[in-house]
A = this chain, B = another copy of it.
Amino acid sequence: MQPRVDLISLGVRSVEASRSFYADGLGWRIHREVPGEVVFIQANHGLILSLWDAARMQAEAGTSAPAGVPCITLSHNLASTAEVDWVMAEAEAAGATIVAAPKTQPWGGYTGYFADPDGFRWEVAYNPTWAVDDAGRVSL
């Protein structure tokens, strides 16, 4: 597994309140959004910051984060479903807690979740619409 973060998801109580703060308050440009569900903002070369309704975010992983563990996920994107399976097995062998075995998601991706020794969650994902150009601009 390569050390790489492609997407940072913050689970937020109100997508509208977050949108207002980041886009209207700080003036950050929105890359893409599903109103009331999620806002994507490009946050560095090949990096997306996602402000995601916390309940929907936890539903996708299938379980809520344990008490005291942040509603945040760092995503690691791969080029195929087979690579997702392989990396999830590698993480488990390294001692990760498997939060959710990989499965196809309603949005078309194939994702699994593991937690590190502190419970911080990683999403291991094949996202067929994810692309990064030479300048670091993400398409998703």
Q: Provided the pairs A12-B117, A117-B14, A118-B13 are in contact, do residues A43 and B4 lie with their beta carbons within 8 angstroms?
A: yes
How far apart sit A70 and B74, CA to CA, in the bound complex (Å)? 13
Q: Which residues of B contact A21 (CB under 8 A)?
A: 94-96, 116-117
Q: How many residues of A contact B (CB 8 A)?
A: 49
Q: Which residues of B contact A93 (CB under 8 A)?
A: 25
* Chain A residues in the interface with B (C-beta under 8 A): 1-6, 8, 10-14, 17-18, 20-22, 24-29, 41-47, 49, 67-72, 74, 90-91, 93-96, 116-118, 120, 136
Q: List 18 A-B contacts (CB under 8 A).
A: A3-B22, A3-B28, A3-B43, A4-B44, A6-B44, A10-B118, A10-B120, A12-B117, A18-B117, A20-B95, A21-B116, A21-B117, A24-B94, A25-B91, A26-B91, A44-B47, A45-B136, A49-B74
